[in-house]
Amino acid sequence: MKSTFSVLFFIDRSKANEEGLYLIRCRISCNGKTASFSTKQQTAPEDWNAQRARVKANSPTAQGINNALNAIEQGLNALYERILREEQYFTAEYLKEQFLRKEKPQQSILELYQTVCEAKRAYEGKSLSKATIRAFRDSYKSFARFLVSRGQSGCMPYEVNKGLIENYRLYMLRDLGNKVSSVANRLRHLHQVIRRALMEGVLREDPFDLIDIDTPAYERNSLSGDELQKLLAYRPHRSVDNHIRLIFLLGCFTGLAFSDLKKLRMEDIYTLSDGRRYISLYRTKTQNCCIVPLLPIAEEILAFVGQGRSEGLYIREFPVNSHFNRKIRELLIKAGCSPHTEASSHTARHTFATTICLENGLPIETVSKMLGHRFISTTELYAKVSKQKIAKEMLPLMGSEQTQMLRKALRVCPPRKRATASKAEPSTA
């Protein structure tokens, strides 16, 4: 069935302004149905030519108003042709909605990014942490710098395509020197903004459908039992350094994340009827409840850092994360660990999961509950066998009779000769 379509302008005589002018409205007719909207143009009834649906040429406002009406008609016709070609089905109301949306001043991609940032800020301290809000804001700044460097600060959402995203990825890796994990996080943040544009009808297609956001599988470092013993035995000369050492060790024996240790209060320690004590609190990151029985060594550390207080924060003076990470690496080296030992605030949590719990036979379900993970698949990442465990279990094999026989066999095997570059072709003369 062939569709019918027409555009008509008329004056709304229902209400005049103080100057006696009436609004000019636009009526869209499509397949027997109509929809109308205000053009925001006004004229006197005596200046209106109903037959031509335009302001009379002798009116002083004719040129400006008629040009505006012509532009509306041309825009509606172009929209009709596009929708008819791409979507095949439409109504007068749908045409009206699409046209008015198009006529509204659209936000640039950076303005939309800012809007999403502000929306997230409303959830700070509720479902989103301050660190999450800060990371999203930093992602916005990174993308803004990229667009400015390309002279595209006014970039619209529909201009964000596969090419632009890939160039942004390259900019972060090459020009900013960001880690692959940081690049992946910032691309995910940008994808959230794109999904907002899709939801609002600003975009029709998601450019990220053509993009792979690589999430690197990084090794979760944890201290071995020997390294943990060395740090326990080490006594720093400075009280500030010892304070950092104790906080790190508390993380090793409780599994609490850096942010959770920071907010740990006296009220989070509970005592059972049989005298056993445990920590119970809601994690900052996930808002999941974690329950951790207190090991004797954790009790000793808490008693020391708590200094006999009965309420409030356990650790009143808490270091900045970046300073903490730098200092704990220094302390581990001073304690006798390898100069190549990698450690951060999160290493303590990994140490608790791997060295303290999993390598001592605790069920992964129990460890998952103590860590406050939402999904057990997250805990499974900690269950990978450590390098130290591999080396220890391979040691008997290294000196076995079978291994020695294989070594002898390799010695008597003649080395493989390198193939000559090319042999001279026999002469056919």
| pLDDT tens per residue, range 302-334 | 888 877 666 778 887 888 877 888 999 999 999
Domains recognised in the chain with CATH numbers: 5-103 (no CATH), 109-210 (1.10.150), 225-387 (1.10.443.10)
Share of the chain above pLDDT 70, in %: 83
CA gap 378, 288 in Å, rounded: 13
Per-residue tokens: 385 = 């066998």
Question: What pLDDT is attached to residue 428?
Answer: 47
pLDDT tens per residue across span 221-260: 888 889 999 999 999 989 889 999 999 999 999 989 888 8
- 216 versus 129: the higher-pLDDT residue is 129
Which residue carries 């209060």 as its tokens? 265
* Structure confidence by residue, pLDDT tens digits, 13-37: 888 888 889 999 999 998 889 999 9
pLDDT of residue 149: 93
- 289-293 vs 277-282, strand pairing mode: antiparallel
Q: How confident is the model at residue 410 (pLDDT cuts 50, 70, 90)?
A: low
Residue percentage of the chain with pLDDT more than 90: 32
Q: Among 64-78, 348-362, 406-420, which is the least confidently predicted range?
A: 406-420
User: Residue 203: what pLDDT?
Assistant: 77
Instruction: Give the model's pLDDT for residue 429.
Output: 40
Q: Which of 37, 13, 57 is nearest to 100 (CA)?
A: 37
Write down the pLDDT at residue 38.
Answer: 92
When pLDDT is averaged across residues 1-12 and rounded to a whole number, the result is 83
Distance CA 235, CA 238 (A): 9
DSSP H or E stretch at residue 105? none
DSSP class per residue in 147-171: HHHTT-TT--GGG--HHHHHHHHHI
> How confident is the model over 166-184, as pLDDT tens digits?
999 999 999 999 988 889 9
Helix (H, G, I), strand (E, B) or coil at 223: coil
Model confidence pLDDT, tens digit, residues 181-214: 889 999 999 999 999 888 877 777 889 988 888 6
CB 322: neighbour CB atoms within 10 A? 10
Residue 218 has pLDDT above 70, yes or no: no
The predicted structure's pLDDT at residue 66:
92
The distance between the two most distant Cα atoms of the chain, rounded to a whole number of Å, is: 112
C-alpha closest to that of 25 among 34, 37, 43: 37
Residues 258 and 322 sit within 8 Å (Cβ to Cβ):
no
Q: Which two tokens stand for residue 41?
A: 């143009």
The conformational region for residue 340 under phi > 0 = left, psi -120 to 50 = alpha, else beta, is alpha
Question: Binning pLDDT at 50, 70 and 90, where does residue 367 land?
Answer: confident
Q: Mean pLDDT over all residues of the chain?
A: 83
pLDDT > 70? residue 416: no
In b/e form, how buried is each residue of 273-287, taking b as 16+ CB within 10 angstroms? eeeeeebebebbebe
Per-residue model confidence (pLDDT) at position 107: 82
**pLDDT tier for residue 263 given thresholds of 50, 70 and 90:** confident
Give the global pTM.
0.54
pLDDT beyond 80 at 407: no
Distance of CA 34 to the CA centre of its chain: 45
- For residue range 94-148, list pLDDT tens digits in order: 888 878 876 556 788 999 999 999 988 888 766 677 788 889 999 999 999 999 9
